[in-house]
């Protein structure tokens, strides 16, 4: 049985993390079968915080991905820790920015529930819960580099977000 991962807000506690080695090579620590974490110092310093970047690598064949929304069942908002505890999740990843009525500022749909049907100007959509085994289990769709009309009916779950690179940078589009 696959374990549950929620797309909401990353929160993992009590884990020792391996970071950069002396040669600046990024290392990762396996924290569960098919689940890896790494933390490294950003080459560009942030104006706030410690400038560390934490990444979680997930084998989608070993974990279920679910999209939860307080808006879907008229629930109240909660912290990432509360989402994880109440839904028995091992990791929680942010699905985007939300308005005060819990509507995502970008397109967000999970099977038959639409949190927001409107696309905004952000150019990336994370798609998962595929409809065909011939597709990648999870795909980061770049609306500038890929054809949304060809992909929008291929998955059951979507959340739109900010595009942080260009078409050449998306070597991890198909996870």
pLDDT in tens, 18-53: 344 444 566 889 998 999 999 888 888 888 889 888
Can you give the pLDDT at residue 8? 41
pTM: 0.76
Can you give the pLDDT at residue 165? 67
| Averaged pLDDT in 10-residue chunks for the chain of 175 residues | 45 33 68 89 86 86 91 88 90 87 94 96 93 93 91 96 68 41
CA dist 106 and 130 (Å) reads 20
Can you give the pLDDT at residue 114? 97
Closest by CA position to 56, among listed 83, 17, 114: 17
Strands 63-67 and 3-7: parallel
Can you give the pLDDT at residue 13? 28
């Amino acid at each position: 049985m696959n374990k549950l991962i929620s797309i909401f807000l990353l929160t993992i506690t009590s884990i020792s993390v391996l970071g950069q080695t002396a040669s600046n090579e990024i290392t990762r620590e396996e924290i569960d079968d098919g689940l890896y974490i790494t933390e490294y110092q950003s080459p560009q310093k942030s104006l706030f915080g410690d400038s560390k970047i934490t990444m979680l690598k997930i084998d989608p064949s070993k974990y279920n991905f679910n999209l939860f929304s307080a808006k879907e069942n008229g629930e109240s908002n909660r912290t990432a820790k509360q989402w994880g505890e109440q839904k028995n999740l091992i990791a929680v990843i942010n699905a985007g920015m939300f308005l005060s009525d819990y509507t995502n500022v970008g397109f967000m749909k999970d099977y038959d529930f639409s949190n927001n049907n409107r696309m905004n100007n952000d150019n990336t959509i994370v798609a998962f819960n595929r409809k065909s085994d011939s597709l990648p289990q999870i795909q980061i769709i770049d609306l500038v580099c890929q054809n949304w009309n060809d992909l929008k009916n291929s998955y059951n779950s979507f959340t739109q977000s900010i595009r942080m690179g260009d078409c050449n940078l998306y070597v991890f589009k198909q996870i």
